[in-house]
Amino acid sequence: MRHTTGHAIRVERLHAGYHGRPVLYEVTASIPRGRITALVGPNGSGKSTLLGVLAGVVRPEQGSVHRTSAHRPAFVMQHTTIPATLPLTVRDTVSMGRWAHRGPWRRLSSEDHTIVHRCLERMAVGDLAPRRLDTLSGGQRQRVLLAQALAQESDVLLLDEPAAGLDSESHQEISRVLTELGDQGVTVVHATHDHEEARRADHCLVLRDGQVRAEGPPATALSDRRPL
């Protein structure tokens, strides 16, 4: 059971977009600390842009972002956005998650290696550690990216449709780990088109046309049955 209170991130009157093209307008919302929040809405509604703002990789044009988390958020993009031809092994990829603590290209400590191994095993990709990313299936690559994020040991985890287009086994594995993280007090925010996945969250933000149309528990926020 999750007993945390307050918010991990608060955005107020947020405007954001890309190269002068607005995507989000007057967005005000809170991300509760230690809970699982689902961002839902149709394609083009602003889910990915909002995640980018929360992660600090998209700079707001107007408005403010207040973070109370102790660490920089760990951000998991869709596996399709990562060039599969990068000459990296699975272990290399997950080890990069430790850069948040060690700095880029620094030699990892024995503790770092232990954390990397634990994250590989947690996502059931330990046996894939010596393989290159370009030899993996989409589901395997997505689990590797989540293992990399776990290796950052952040208290906020952001994911952009982590189960989109994946096989059932990978989908279930990712859902299981997200539930465990929420139970452990990690703030999880994930974008999804899956109604059932959204209903398993603690909190929902419904976006349409770049604005928040509903916010709150799934039973309330998802009462509008229009497709996600």
**Encoding tokens for residue 43?**
């394609």
- Rounded to whole angstroms, the Cα distance separating 48 from 140 reads 22
C-beta separation of 192 from 161 below 8 A? yes
Average pLDDT on 23-47 reads 94
| Domain span(s) for CATH 3.40.50.300 in the chain | 1-72+186-222
Contact call for residues 64 and 150 (beta carbons, < 8 A): no
pLDDT, tens digit (0-9, with 9 covering 90-100), for 5-31: 689 999 999 999 998 789 999 999 999
Q: Taking Cα atoms as reference points, which of 204, 164, 155 lies closest to residue 184?
A: 155
Contacts of 103 (CB under 8 A, 6+ apart): none
Q: pLDDT of 160-206, one tens digit each?
A: 988 777 788 888 888 889 999 989 999 999 999 888 889 999 999 99
CATH number at 1-72+186-222: 3.40.50.300
Q: What CA–CA distance (Å, rounded) separates 142 from 166? A: 8
For 180, residues 6+ apart whose C-beta sits below 8 A from its C-beta are none
Given a cut of 80, is residue 83 above it in pLDDT?
A: no
Place of tokens 């465990």: 180
pTM equals 0.89
